């Protein structure tokens, strides 16, 4: 079987050497080149035609983001970012995912060699996933006018969302229903952008949304802040014990499990450490099991793009408890792993393109309102 051919792009000779060693130890992949900057990498990619590249962010002559933007417009290919675990590193990594990078590895600021050795399984797993991912050519970035038309809340100082400002809601209000229903989303590879697309389609009075996206510690706070500035609903990293409210979305902190419990008539978030479940922490399985147990028929489950089977069995438990569950279709997924497993488990009522999920969920909610009123 042909090996996955990888080009490493990083200005650190140590990192290039370590990544080359890690890749070449795998029987199913080989490092066919290593470049110190994007200009060298450009010629290497043109001449060697790799299957995947690993790409650093901060490099001389051209930074990784500029290079990625040009690459995904002119020659789209699978890219795994190698980012330093800092606040700026998190923000830049999220930009890279927006531009089309498949996934990222958070390399440590100190003890790089030992850190990369410890991450070797994670690095090679992500290269394997990237080699099979669905790649789309990057379209021209939308202008400010289109962002405003989407109903985004204005940004405050430093680009953070300005909390008091709320857009006018052009869709019919969901009213009391939003206090009864709760939306649960599970996602992995490709899910940062897929989740963004779903959340941007929800109105300001949406039912509460609780999200587990596979992410390491240090990135989810920046991710939540970025979504908060784009969406009509408020988005934040979940905190243990906080009340889950309509019009808000709560993201599982990287490296912690998120579940939902009841306290009287209210839902509350439970953020806890623990062993990985299905190799993941946070795990979709943990969140969806709590949805089946606590919310039952008041839950709506959404399974988005991702590798593996995390959450599939628990989504079936949700459906059996009366929840309404949908999955992203293969054509719009970066990786059709988690949705396919949920479908195969009999956990899903509808399989939909990403672009139609939000509206379908809203239509389902409004139909539920109509049915409730007809019984009064």
Of all residues in the chain, what percent are helix, strand and coil, respectively (each to 5)?
40, 20, 35
* CA–CA distance, 57 with 63 (Å, rounded to integer): 6
- Which two three-digit tokens encode residue 24? 């070449």
**Phi-psi sector, 369: left (phi>0), alpha (psi -120 to 50), beta:** alpha
Query: DSSP readout, 19-73?
Result: HHHHHHTSTTEEEEEEESSHHHHHHHHHHH--SEEEEESS-SSS-HHHHHHHHHH
* CA–CA distance, 14 with 167 (Å, rounded to integer): 49
pLDDT in tens, the chain (376 residues): 789 999 999 999 999 999 999 999 999 999 999 999 999 999 999 999 999 999 988 777 788 899 999 999 999 999 999 877 666 778 888 999 999 999 998 877 778 888 888 999 999 999 999 999 998 766 655 443 333 333 444 433 333 333 344 444 444 455 555 568 999 999 999 999 999 999 999 999 999 999 999 998 889 999 999 999 999 999 999 999 999 999 999 999 999 999 999 998 899 999 999 999 999 999 999 999 999 999 999 999 999 999 999 999 999 999 999 999 999 999 999 999 999 999 999 999 999 999 999 999 999 998 886 554 444 4
- Which two three-digit tokens encode residue 172? 């019919």
Question: What does the pLDDT read at residue 62?
Answer: 81
* CA–CA distance, 144 with 289 (Å, rounded to integer): 40
**63: annotated active-site residue:** no
Global confidence as pTM: 0.87
Question: What does the pLDDT read at residue 270?
Answer: 98
* CA–CA distance, 132 with 125 (Å, rounded to integer): 11
**136: annotated active-site residue:** no
Integer-rounded Cα radius of gyration of the chain? 21
Compute how many other C-beta atoms are within 10 angstroms of the C-beta atom of residue 330. Answer: 15
> From the candidates 103, 178, 214, 257, which is the catalytic residue?
214
248-251 and 208-213: which strand pairing?
A: parallel
Question: What does the pLDDT read at residue 90?
Answer: 82
- Which two three-digit tokens encode residue 73? 């417009």
User: Rounded to the nearest 5°, which phi and psi values hold at 15?
Assistant: -65, -45
Compute how many other C-beta atoms are within 10 angstroms of the C-beta atom of residue 188. Answer: 27
> From the candidates 188, 222, 234, 358, which is the catalytic residue?
188
CA terminus-to-terminus distance, the chain: 64
User: What 3-state class would DSSP assign to 146?
Assistant: helix
Which residue reads 């002119």 in tokens? 74
* CA–CA distance, 12 with 10 (Å, rounded to integer): 5
Question: What does the pLDDT read at residue 110?
Answer: 76
User: Rounded to the nearest 5°, which phi and psi values hold at 171?
Assistant: -85, 155
C-alpha dihedral sign at 132, 37, 226, 167: negative
Q: How many residues does the chain have?
A: 376
* CA–CA distance, 10 with 16 (Å, rounded to integer): 6
> From the candidates 37, 103, 228, 310, which is the catalytic residue?
310
Domains along the chain?
4-132 (3.40.50.2300), 174-374 (3.40.50.180)
* CA–CA distance, 239 with 248 (Å, rounded to integer): 13
Question: What does the pLDDT read at residue 89?
Answer: 73
**188: annotated active-site residue:** yes
Compute how many other C-beta atoms are within 10 angstroms of the C-beta atom of residue 182. Answer: 21
């Amino acid at each position: 079987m042909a090996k996955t051919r990888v080009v490493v792009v990083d200005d650190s000779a140590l990192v290039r050497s370590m990544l080359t060693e890690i890749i070449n130890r795998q029987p199913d992949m080989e490092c066919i080149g290593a470049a110190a900057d994007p200009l060298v990498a450009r010629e290497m990619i043109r001449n060697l035609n790799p299957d995947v590249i690993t790409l650093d962010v901060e490099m001389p002559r051209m930074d990784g983001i500029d290079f990625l933007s040009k690459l995904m417009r002119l020659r789209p290919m699978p890219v795994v970012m190698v980012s330093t675990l800092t606040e700026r590193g998190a923000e830049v990594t999220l930009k890279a995912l927006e531009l089309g990078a498949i996934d990222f590895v958070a390399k440590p600021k100190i003890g790089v060699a030992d850190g990369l050795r410890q991450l070797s399984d994670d690095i090679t797993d992500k290269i394997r996933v990237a080699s099979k991912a669905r790649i789309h050519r990057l379209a021209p970035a939308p202008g400010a006018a289109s962002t405003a038309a989407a109903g985004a809340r204005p940004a405050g100082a430093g680009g953070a969302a300005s909390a008091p400002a709320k857009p006018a809601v052009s869709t019919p209000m969901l009213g009391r229903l939003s206090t009864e229903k709760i939306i649960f989303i599970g996602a992995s590879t490709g899910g940062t952008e897929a989740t963004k697309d779903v959340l941007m389609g929800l109105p300001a009075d949406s039912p509460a949304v609780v999200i587990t996206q596979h992410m390491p510690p240090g990135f989810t706070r920046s991710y939540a802040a970025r979504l908060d500035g784009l969406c009509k609903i408020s988005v934040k990293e979940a905190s243990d014990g906080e009340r889950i409210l309509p019009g808000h979305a709560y993201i599982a902190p990287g490296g912690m499990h998120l579940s939902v419990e009841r306290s009287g008539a209210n839902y509350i978030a439970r953020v806890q450490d623990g062993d990985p479940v299905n190799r993941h922490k946070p795990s979709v399985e943990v969140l969806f099991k709590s949805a089946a147990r606590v919310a039952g028929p008041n839950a709506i489950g959404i399974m988005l793009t991702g590798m593996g089977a995390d959450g599939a069995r628990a989504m079936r438990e949700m459906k059996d408890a009366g929840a309404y569950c949908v999955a992203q279709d293969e054509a719009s997924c970066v990786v059709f792993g988690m949705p396919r497993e949920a479908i195969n488990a009999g956990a899903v009522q509808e399989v939909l393109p990403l672009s139609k999920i939000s509206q379908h969920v809203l239509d389902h909610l409004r139909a539920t309102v109509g049915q409730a009123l007809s019984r009064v």
